[in-house]
Structure 1
Amino acid sequence: MPPASIVTRVTRSVRWAFLESLLSALASLVTVLVLARLVPPDEFGRAGIAVAISLIVQAALLGGMPDALVRSPSAHTRLTDSAFWSLLVIGVASVLVIAGCGLIVARWDPRLGALIAVQGLTTIAVAAAAVPTGLLLRKMRTRALAKRTAVSKLAGLAASIGFALAGTGAWAVVLGNLAAQAVGTLQLLASMRAPAWRLRDPQLATLLRIGVMSGAQQSLGTLSTRGFVLAFGAVFGAYQVGLFNFALRLVEESCGLVITTLRRVTVTSFAAAKRSALDMKPMFIAGTNVIAYGTAPLFLGGAAVAPDAVALLFGPQWAGAVPALQLMLGLWVVRATRILVNAVMVVEGRQRAMVGFGAIGLAATAAAFAAAAPFGPAWTTFAYAATIVGVIFGGPAFTRQTGISLSTQLTAGLAPIGFAVAMAAVVVALRVGPLAAMPLALRLAIEIGAGLSVFVGLALAFDRASLARLQRLALRR
């Protein structure tokens, strides 16, 4: 494929990926907004534990499969058919594993055990969606994927609100997840022909091996975050883990969705660039800068206005979640600007190294939790920052693989992050200073307007070249 054609397709994919993430984030924020008003913190905590167990299993066994199909030299019919049925078998086995965990937990908490077992049913849908998702990503059909994601999120929103209004508590979260995943998978299956019954293909073993290695990396990251939730709940109880899980869900269902969606399209884009022997260094530098401009003001601005936004939108009962929310938003800035490191390493087949860094992050998280737990939930919340350790360790390995220096990696997104830090500082100064006595809604509106003005003003004054690049990308057809 000619380089110009690849750039055009990548640009279109990025635009649709960003649109998908915004639509999904909006639907998810509305869901969290409604659930926060109708579901108390202890019930939110139980739902968070159920989701955590399912996500750990799903990431380990299925999380890397779409990427593996994107990286595969070919995606012929026999291979995709065999992969579909093999993954469905794995999905059913995973459901049984999660149900077993639910049975064990039910000995102490029958309701929580039932929540875990029902949440585990989403694994069948995740397994069935892996191949059609991989095929759409491989073809860079992010527009089709965006539409299906938006519909599935709306289905989950409707189900969650309905069950929450019925007073089902934690079941509203779990059943909403189940509805969203089912609707999304049915749409994805409709996008591909009916797979023939096959379980053998010469390339199947390689595909599954690559998927498992990529899944191992994702599972270690998921185990760091969701394992932290499980440990937090075991030590501090359902109420405290409910506050922590509220912050985690709010971040993951907004900022995390943006990063996850972009990660999909970046792996696809770099895989296409590698097949066409293009130089990845300019793509990495420009891509990191664009991602930083799109995420740093959103995440750090969100952290700055979090005290007022949470109080106004979700109610005073969630004020205890603000420190965790601010911490997580700050960490997501680091994750966002390192996302292309992960994408390139996946495309280059360096999953083993990434698995090693994930293991380092998991060990650091476990050690930080153990050290902080005796000092109470507040200090333990800040121990969550250790989940970023594995992400940081990938820099030197990325330099050895690509020749892109660590200083280049860091400076690619430095300007927008610096502008966002200055923006956040101005917002905080306004909130605790001249706007302190102002009504909450008006103060929040002024904070947002002032923050945007500061960020845009700094970018116009000191980085017009990057703004011009963003404009070209937005207008490119």
Structure 2
Amino acid sequence: MADTATPSNGQSDGLAHLSAGRARAALLGVLWSFLNTAVSTLLAAGVFLVTSRYLLPDDFGAVAFAASIITVLAVLTPTAFGEALVQRKLLGRDHLDTLFWLTLLVSGMGYGILVLLAPAIADLSGVPLLASILPVLGLRLVFDGLLTVPASLIMRRMQFRAVAVRTAIANGIGAVVCLVMVLMDYALWALVASQVIASLVAMVVAFAGARWRPGLQVRWQSLRDLMGFGGYAMGGRLLNELRIDQFLLGVLLGPAVLGLFYFGRRLFQMLKDLTVGAFSPVSSVLLASLQGEVEKRRRAYLVASYASAGLAFPLFAGLMAVAPAAVPWAFGQQWQSAVFTVQCFCAIGMMAGLGQMQAALIRNLGRPDWWFWYQAVVQLSTVPVVLIFYRFGLDVVMIAIVLKTVFLWPHSVLMAQRMLEMPLWHYFRSLRGPALGSAAMVVWVLLLPGLWPGASVGLTLLLQVASGAVVYALVLAATSFRSLLETGRLLRNARGKTQ
């Protein structure tokens, strides 16, 4: 998206994209981002594991319903315009100040409306807990609004270490508060408080790391400069985070079924963060800075896609294979009914890992409009799926969602391939190793219990994970050794050179 106006303050105060040392910054960014997502996911998994053993699906459903309502308000705030701050070539302080005060105003109004309507929402939904949960969980609206500008500045400067520190501190404090509250027999409120406190701490740490304070340079033209990319980013976030399926399932099938769905989606989201989450923020900023360098962006995209698939494919495929034993063993027998939902989300997860790379490429190379409409089709097509199949139960709904995703996903693959001006077979050839390695791993993992029928569930799962990882690594090395060497060479060059 071309910039048509020059900001009043030019590129002062360290607001320009990096033009030197991008490869090194990207490499360090991936390492810090991976550390960030690993720590955050482990903390989230600990909270998830503990609370799932204390709470029933109905309780999870109540919190999920509250979260979906808050998300409806959150996506109507201009927090997604922070992505325009990252993508824009020319940026001034007037853009930062304008977006900060606008976001604070809209998110504050949204929170006030939420507090006023909370009792009515509880009555209409038939979930009395919402009257108490919504005013507390809704504080995230304000904290996330305040977070937008400083967090975007940190990303724009490729200061991924600051992002990792901020997120680790926020999630760490949130996890500690949650576990303490669980021990005090407030498990439901622990799930709510951990999210609010994590959002608050993230906002405070982001301001400290960005070294920026809001001023009063508020201009209408500055907002117009951000509207092109920011408008599509806001629309995309609206589609992605609105959770229409979650809202409909809560209304049509009740909190218990919604709790099972939310359980599967939460587990999926944690694993997605742990895999592609390490590459997504780095690739977005890097591709934005390579808008005019065709060969470099093609190489960056292929390396990022290979690395993302190398992590996402085995993790989601492995969980799909062991879920029938692993879910009730780890989280409790009350979640046995969620196993099939978890497996369906794993199938979606293998496509989602590559989809994040496609989104970064398409949006940051000037086609946020195409990605918005693609996401509109993906997300809105869930509405008729749920309305048609909900009467047959959650399992049938999940099968329909997976089939819909499989049908639509190739369209983004073809668009990315056209933008890279690269043969499609070249792209899929780069993913051959992770795909074959994951397939071999799944076969071995499914055969292993029959080879040692007397082992306990815990020991069997341990053997499946450990030996499955070995099988995957061996097949990966045998089928894509050249890709591994190329990736290693690029990483070594990134450590020693600047671009």
Whether TM-score is above 0.5 comes out as yes
The reply on whether 1:80 has 2:96 as its aligned counterpart is: yes
In structure 2, do the counterparts of structure 1 residues 409 and 220 end up closer, same or farther at CA, with 3 Å as the change threshold?
farther
Q: Which residue pairs with 2:230 in the alignment?
A: 211
The one of 419, 428, 433 equivalent to 1:410 is 428
For the residue of structure 2 that corresponds to 1:64, the secondary structure is helix
Q: What's the offset of the Cα at 1:68?
A: 0.8
Partner of 1:273: 290
**1:393–1:39 CA distance, 2 compared to 1 (3 A):** same
Shift of 1:122: 0.1
Residue in 1 aligned with 2:473? 456
Correspondent of 2:316 among 282, 285, 299: 299
Q: CA deviation at 1:46?
A: 0.6
Distance 1:120 1:32, change over 3 A: same
The CA RMSD over aligned residues, in Å, is 2.4
Q: 2:385 & 2:217 partners in 1: Cα distance?
A: 47
State TM-score, norm by structure 1.
Answer: 0.92
2:86 to 56, 60, 70: 70
In the superposition, relative to structure 1, how do residues 57 and 419 fare at CA in structure 2: closer, same or farther (>3 Å)? farther
- Cα distance in 2 between the residues matched to 1:336 and 1:91: 31
**Are 2:33 and 2:164, in contact at CA under 8 Å, matched by a contact in 1?**
yes
Q: Displacement of 1:403 after TM fit?
A: 2.1
- 8 A contact 2:79–2:145 mirrored in 1: no
CA displacement 1:81-133 (0-9 Å, x = unmatched): 22211211122133235446634322233322332332221011111111111
Contact 1:85 1:198 in 2 (8 A): no
Task: Measure how far apart 1:142 and its partner are.
Answer: 0.3
> How high is the TM-score relative to the length of structure 2?
0.88
Long gaps (5+) in structure 2: 1-16
Tell me how far apart the structure 2 counterparts of residues 473 and 147 of structure 1 sit (CA, whole Å): 26
Query: Given residue 397 of structure 1, which amino acid in structure 2 is its aligned partner?
Result: M
* Structure 1 unaligned spans of 5+: none
Distance change in 2, residues 1:207/1:100 (3 Å): farther
Q: Are the aligned partners of 1:39 and 1:164 in contact in 2 as well (CA < 8 Å)?
A: no
Separation in structure 1 between the aligned mates of residue 451 and residue 235 of structure 2, nearest angstrom: 50
Pairs aligned (count): 474
Q: Which amino acid letter does the alignment assign opposite residue 411 of structure 2?
A: F
Do the aligned partners of 1:361 and 1:388 also contact (CA within 8 Å) in 2? Answer: no
Among 61, 75, 98, the residue aligned to 1:45: 61
Q: Aligned-pair distance for 1:388?
A: 6.1
Inter-partner Cα distance in structure 2 for 1:112 and 1:389 = 37
Structure 1 distance, partners of 2:304, 2:290, is: 13
Letter in 2 for 1:104: A
1:93 and 2:93 aligned: no
Cα distance, 1:257 vs structure 2:
5.2
**2:18 touches 2:157 (CA, 8 Å); kept in 1?**
no
Bigger shift: residues 401-410 or 326-335: 401-410
Task: Please tell me the residue identity of whatever aligns with 2:241.
Answer: T
Task: Return closer, same or farther for 1:469/1:74 CA change in 2, 3 Å cut-off.
Answer: same
Contact 1:35 1:164 in 2 (8 A): yes
Matched residue of 1:48: which SS?
helix
Q: Give aligned-pair identity as a percent.
A: 24
User: 445-454 vs 232-241, which deviates more?
Assistant: 232-241
Residue equivalent to 2:302: 285
Does residue 175 (structure 1) correspond to residue 193 (structure 2)? The answer is yes
CA contact (8 A) 1:95 1:121 kept: yes
For 2:342, the equivalent position in structure 1 comes to 325
TM-superposed deviation, 1:149: 0.4
Please tell me whether residue 193 in structure 1 is matched to residue 209 in structure 2: no
CA contact (8 A) 1:24 1:150 kept: yes
Match for residue 134 of structure 2?
116
Structure 2 CA distance for aligned equivalents of residues 60 and 398 of structure 1: 28
Q: 3-state SS of the aligned residue for 1:197?
A: coil
Identify which of 176, 180, 190 aligns with 1:158. Answer: 176
- Please give the per-residue CA displacement for 1:49-85, whole angstroms capped at 9, x wherever unaligned: 1112223432353452232111112332232122211
2:388 is the counterpart of 1:377: no
Q: Distance in 2 between matches of 1:232 and 1:67?
A: 31
Relative to 1, partners in 2 of residues 1:406 and 1:214: Cα closer, same or farther, differing over 3 Å?
Answer: farther
- Report the Cα offset of residue 389 of structure 1: 5.4
Q: What is the rounded CA distance, in whole Å, between the counterparts of 1:315 and 1:290 in structure 2? A: 33
Q: What is the aligned partner in structure 2 of residue 221 from structure 1?
A: 240
Q: Which amino acid aligns with 2:185?
A: G
Equivalent-residue separation in structure 2 for 1:197 and 1:168 (angstroms): 43
In structure 1, what residue type is equivalent to 2:364?
A: V
Structure 1 residues 430 and 80 mapped into 2: Cα distance closer, same or farther (>3 Å)?
A: same
Whichever residue aligns with residue 251 of structure 1, its letter is F
Please state how far the C-alpha of 1:163 moved relative to its aligned partner.
2.4
2:162 is matched with which residue: 144, 157, 181?
144
CA separation of 1:68/1:262 partners in 2, compared to 1, >3 Å: closer, same or farther?
Answer: same
* Distance in structure 1 (CA, Å) of the matches to 2:491 and 2:299: 18
**CA shift in 2, pair 1:257/1:62, >3 Å:** farther
Give the CA deviation at 1:470.
4.4
Cα distance between partner residues in 2 of 1:84 and 1:157: 28
